[in-house]
Amino acid sequence: MIKILPLLLVCAFAIPAAADTSLETGYQEMYNLRFDSAQRTFQDYERVHPEDPMGPVSRAAAYLFFEFERLHVLQSDFLTSDKNFTSPQRLNADPNVKRDFETALARSKALADALLKKQPDARNALLANVLGIALHADYLAAVEKENWQALNEIKQARTLADALVNRYPDCYDAYLAMGVENYVLSQKAAPVRLFLRMTGARTDKQEGLVKLRIVADKGQYLKPYAKILLAVAALRDGNRQEAIGLLKQLAAQFPGNALFVEEIKKLS
């Protein structure tokens, strides 16, 4: 069984300068676990930009992060234990959150497709489609334990992210999709990695870490999430001090998120 770490987010949002503040504020609120405020911020963005798919896909991200927080998916004990990803037992999902999550994804996809018909290289539409696929893959893997289906969607998201970076090389957060796929799948046994490569997956651990560090250094909206994943990678490699250092940075930036402080206490 393939284990998939949640991606949660796979691409940054390159949006007009006038819109940066509202979306960035929404993501800051989300990382601080102020989910109601984040949803209001994203809804306000949608009202001002009704044709932009970034509004509804951002709401979907907040719904997913809320569910991950409720189910303790982002705790280090969950992320570093292989049994959490190989067990077929589904988590106790909230059906209302799932409904709202899927509705937001569908809305984003419809807006993105409409925009791409008029502008085939519309950056926001491309970003929204990458993010929507990755978010759905996250839910499949972490909550519903549909790991093979999630793997297919993660590969699809990475392929779209590759194309996005080729078209817009300054979209540093897009490297998260490439980094996660490489790092996570590199943890499998050699015969499994060979099979995965034959299916088109990428399984280079060092390449994965390089890509994650690019996001942690240059990313905008995904920088915090890249640091979370790098902390998990450090723990899997037995480097507790590196993990603690990353978590301390996150705790200082997001004081409303007690998860980071709790993780530091467990590791100290």
**What is the pLDDT at residue 6?**
47
The CATH number linked to 153 is 1.25.40.10
Residues 5 and 229 sit within 8 Å (Cβ to Cβ) = yes
Residue 3 domain-assigned (yes or no): no
Percent of the chain as helix, strand, coil, to the nearest 5: 75, 0, 25
Residue 255 domain-assigned (yes or no): yes
Residue 4 domain-assigned (yes or no): no
Residue 31 token pair: 């990382």
Tens digits of residue pLDDT in 15-52: 333 444 589 899 999 999 999 999 999 999 999 999 99
Residue 88 domain-assigned (yes or no): yes
**What is the pLDDT at residue 7?**
46
Alpha-carbon span 217 to 184, nearest angstrom: 20
Residue 12 domain-assigned (yes or no): no
**What is the pLDDT at residue 237?**
87
The H-assigned helical ranges of the chain are 17-31, 35-48, 54-70, 76-80, 83-86, 95-118, 123-142, 147-167, 175-186, 190-198, 205-218, 223-236, 240-253, 258-267
Residue 204 belongs to domain spanning: 17-267
Residue 107 domain-assigned (yes or no): yes
Model pTM? 0.82
Tens digits of residue pLDDT in 59-110: 999 999 999 999 988 776 545 555 544 555 678 889 999 999 999 999 999 9
**What is the pLDDT at residue 56?**
96
Residue 1 domain-assigned (yes or no): no
The count of structural domains within the chain is: 1
